[in-house]
Amino acid sequence: MTSMGRFAMQSETSENPSMPTFFLALSGEKPFTVTDFVTQWTRQSMHLRHPRFHSRVSHDDRGYFLQLEDTINAVRAHVSEHLHTFAYRNDLKKRIESCLLEPMDLMDRLWEVQISSGPLGSSGAIGRAKVDASQKESVNSKPTTESVLLFRAHHALGDGVSLVAAVSDLCDEAQELREMVQKEIRRRKEKFMKLGFLKKLTKYLQRLVWLCFGSIQALLSHSLLLATTPSNPFDEIRRLSKTTRRKGRSISWCDVAPLDEVKSVAKALGDKGTTVNDVFVSCVTAAVARQIAQHRARMTSLDGTDSNSKQCLALSKNLNVVIPVHLGGGILLPGKSVGNNIGAIVARVPGEMDYTTAASTRLGKVHSALASVKNSPAPILSFAIAKFCSSYLPENWTKSMFVRSNANASVVVTNTRGSPKKLHLNGHTVESSHGFLPLPPGIPIGVVVQSYAGVVSLSLTAEPFAVPDADQFLSWVVEEYKRLSDEAMQTTV
């Protein structure tokens, strides 16, 4: 087990287990079964490419893995059939919530998959618009069945980005995807090799200076965030409203817009270098601000002019946001197995603003705040510190440092890039894919921004006291994006 795997085990709590969860929704003429999964697993040699999937935590030492012996039976033991109900989205939400929160016996397994099948579009895993598009795209025979593959794995096995990337090796197009990655690596190597000796030396020296002085600056900046953010707004809301924290998660997901459209919005409204992630961090923090305002309004209506209410009415002018950063660029390099290769940054972004303020104003401030941190060694530094803590510090110290390190952030937003075109599993089309973030201790809201087959989608995991209505929260994110889109259209007229 890597030191980051040990860190995942040491830093989780009973209320916040470290269990990344995601689902793939397939369409086809017949159900995708457990036998289909096992067949595809062995055909794609997953046990050789990613041997960690065939491991468990040692009984004798929780810091080490033991290999499972019987490959076929070991895989089959991780996969189960599940009842596919017709409660549109609600049943799947409950199953996702259960996957995120129920403990897993790591000495027995590190991951599991639930497979359920039913009529196309019945579970809500595939949105109605995608169901209609799937029917139109099919020329010879139209798919009538959907199968939902609900994955969950402990962070000790791998980070969420690596797990999703590893599962792409299970797809029919796996070899094509690997060749695309290798082609890009060769292109970058060739570009670097064309540089002269002095230019190469200059780049190495610049990297060294950036790492040394950038690390000092990153530590000082993070220390300032810790010193100037005494509390999380949602902790204050819970304290002042006397709301008790109950076990559970608010869950939702949705498709937002075509990826090319989002890139056009970023280009039209943002500075050079504004990314898709910047756009949605801006939209998510706008939704967080509206959620805080809704809590304030509810408390005011309940308490009237009570002094506690007045205290809570103070505006949250700024919010801290955590951005996980995959150090491998969101991909698994050729020959690399699934693992933990993720750091994080914390940035202070605008919070509550006058709703009449242009959405692009928030976007500009968010981009500036994120750019200064993303371009620093902060992700590498956080990765190194986590490795050190898991290897040399007592477990209770590691838990405490992990909670404190988020600088009382209100939300974590992570970005995952999927395949630009639809993939297939044993001939079944992967129509949609959504990942759900295990909430780190102390952070009540987590959002995954994901692109797949040219469409950007969102998924939400939140504590119920912070986000009582997950669907409404995502609707606020989409509304903010629509505001940006409208402003972008006006700039091009």
- Model confidence over 253-274: pLDDT tens digits? 999 999 999 999 999 998 888 9
Tokens of 136: 């139109």
The more confident residue out of 471 and 188 is 471
Distance (Å, rounded) from C-alpha 450 to C-alpha 413?
A: 11
> Is pLDDT at 89 greater than 70 in this prediction?
yes
Strand 250-258's sheet: what is its strand order? 250-258, 455-462, 445-452, 411-417, 318-326, 342-350
Distance (Å, rounded) from C-alpha 396 to C-alpha 82?
A: 37
Give φ, ψ of 149 to 5 degrees. -105, 105
> Is pLDDT at 97 greater than 80 in this prediction?
yes
Q: Mean pLDDT across the stretch 328-353?
A: 82
Q: Which residue, among 414, 475, 487, has the nearest Cα to 286 in the 3D structure?
A: 475
Q: Which residue, among 13, 15, 14, has the nearest Cα to 245 in the 3D structure?
A: 15
Q: Mean of the per-residue pLDDT values for the chain?
A: 87
Q: Mean pLDDT across the stretch 438-457?
A: 94
Banded model confidence at residue 493, pLDDT cuts 50, 70, 90: low
**Which range among 211-220, 255-264, 353-362, 389-398 has the greatest average pLDDT?**
255-264
Which residue carries 């798919």 as its tokens?
A: 143
Q: Mean pLDDT across the stretch 108-127?
A: 92
pLDDT at residue number 309: 45
Banded model confidence at residue 245, pLDDT cuts 50, 70, 90: low
> Is pLDDT at 302 greater than 70 in this prediction?
no
Tokens of 275: 């990314």
Distance (Å, rounded) from C-alpha 392 to C-alpha 387?
A: 9
Give φ, ψ of 66 to 5 degrees. -120, 140
Distance (Å, rounded) from C-alpha 261 to C-alpha 398?
A: 42
Q: Mean pLDDT across the stretch 365-371?
A: 93
Distance (Å, rounded) from C-alpha 121 to C-alpha 383?
A: 41
> Is pLDDT at 345 greater than 50 in this prediction?
yes
pLDDT at residue number 438: 93
Distance (Å, rounded) from C-alpha 69 to C-alpha 248?
A: 36
Q: Which residue, among 9, 31, 29, 27, has the nearest Cα to 18 in the 3D structure?
A: 9
pLDDT at residue number 307: 47
pLDDT at residue number 310: 45
The more confident residue out of 69 and 209 is 209
Cβ of 194: how many Cβ atoms within 10 Å? Answer: 8
7-31 tens-digit pLDDT? 888 888 888 899 999 999 999 999 9
Cα-to-chain-centroid distance, residue 444:
14
**Which range among 161-170, 241-250, 431-440 has the greatest average pLDDT?**
431-440
